[in-house]
Structure 1
Amino acid sequence: MPLLLWVCHAAWTQELSIETSDSSGVIMVSASADMRVQPATAWSVISDYDHLADFLPNMRSSRVVQRNGNQLVLEQTGVFGFLFFQQPIQVRLAVTESPPRRIVAHAVGGNLKQMDGSYTLETLPDGKVRLSYAGRLLPDFTIPPLVGKLVVRKILARQFVALVGEILRREARAAPQTPPAQAQ
């Protein structure tokens, strides 16, 4: 069942949809947000690897350790947790960029058995930009069975909402400021 959220920021109202499911321990997630932003703003946020920890909850560090054109290696650390459940995360990702539309990442190290994800940007006919995320995650640790789906859903929703929020903040900063009307 999708989680629908409405996010208000400045003059924009955005609809987000986040779905999670699991099968044999593999967690699948898909999320999307339609925003009134410039595609370049959205791209600059999703590809700002060295600053992701500044605005994504539970991420402690994120840094590019190697780059060769549109291929890079990214190391990230953080905490996967909710209430009483806390699990440190370390992941090394092989990332392929296809600017300005797509980023694909695949775990090549760390404490995730499997992690594959992609971000896609699409300009819609009404001028909005759709940010979509699709991912598969197989942790190398046990997630408590009774709260596992809830934990995953809350963490992923918080991170996606934070990503969209940062896109909107940067768009608002980049928008030309209209001076107040002069009184006559």
Structure 2
Amino acid sequence: MPASLRVLSMLLLAGLARPGLALTDDDVTVAYKDGSYTASLRVRTPAPPAIVLAVLTDFDHMAEFMPGLESSRIVANQGNSYQVAQRGKVKFGPFSMSYESMRQIEVVDGQRILSRSLAGSARRMQSEMRIQPLEHGTRIEYHIEIEPESWIPSSLGTNFMQHELAEQFNALTKEMFRRH
């Protein structure tokens, strides 16, 4: 395959060649029940699993490529287990909300990333990310459960989460592509 065709196919796989091919809000499934939200998404990148994992665990530099993230740092690390402090502001239309989090994050076998909130702007948060190698890249499956500290109307919260997760994962896959 000619180099220009290979680059175009990689861009198309990453959803970066045209804005319409990027992950959209509708690609993120969100449900609300009893004050908690659950969300799931799948995304593909042409980057190999090693680069995907490197980007997803680059906590000390994450604020450089994640929209709205003002600071991110590892406060403790033991092997594949991290405590990460993050602070930022998310925006959706005319609404914005500042947040802080302290999370316990564990990387399991280089194929799963488990995260749970220890402190911060959410009463409860836990997530799981699965990294699956493909013939030409990697598939990422993400699932999160979160109970916000303060009440958010479910219709606004659902749309807000869809938008925020799509934006975050587009930024992550863009960084994976850049490093690839």
- The TM-score, its normalising length taken from structure 2, stands at 0.82
Superposed counterparts of 1:37-76, under 5 Å: 37-76=47-86
Detail structure 1 runs of 4+ shifted over 4 Å in the superposition: none
Greater share of strand: 1
Say yes or no: does 1:132 pair with 2:141.
yes
Say yes or no: does 1:96 pair with 2:106.
yes
Q: Distance in 1 between matches of 2:166 and 2:142?
A: 11
The aligned residue for residue 21 of structure 1 is: 31
CA contact (8 A) 1:31 1:160 kept: no
Report the Cα offset of residue 139 of structure 1: 0.7
Partner SS for 2:162: helix
Q: Distance in 2 between matches of 1:59 and 1:142?
A: 22
Aligned residue pair count: 162
CA deviation profile, 1:9-41 (whole Å, cap 9, x unmatched): x53112654221211221111111122222111
CA deviation profile, 1:76-122 (whole Å, cap 9, x unmatched): 11113312222210110011112421111100101200110122111
- What are structure 1's unaligned runs of at least 5 residues? 1-9, 172-184
Say yes or no: does 1:113 pair with 2:123.
yes
- What are structure 2's unaligned runs of at least 5 residues? 1-6, 16-22
Root-mean-square deviation (CA, aligned residues, Å) is 1.9
* Structure of higher RCO (CA pairs closer than 8 Å, 6+ residues apart): 2
- The TM-score, its normalising length taken from structure 1, stands at 0.80
Return the index of the structure with the highest Cα Rg: 1
Paired AA for residue 95 in structure 2? F
Superposed counterparts of 1:161-176, under 5 Å: 161-171=170-180
CA contact (8 A) 2:32 2:154 kept: no
Greater share of helix: 2
Bigger shift: 33-42 or 146-155? Answer: 146-155
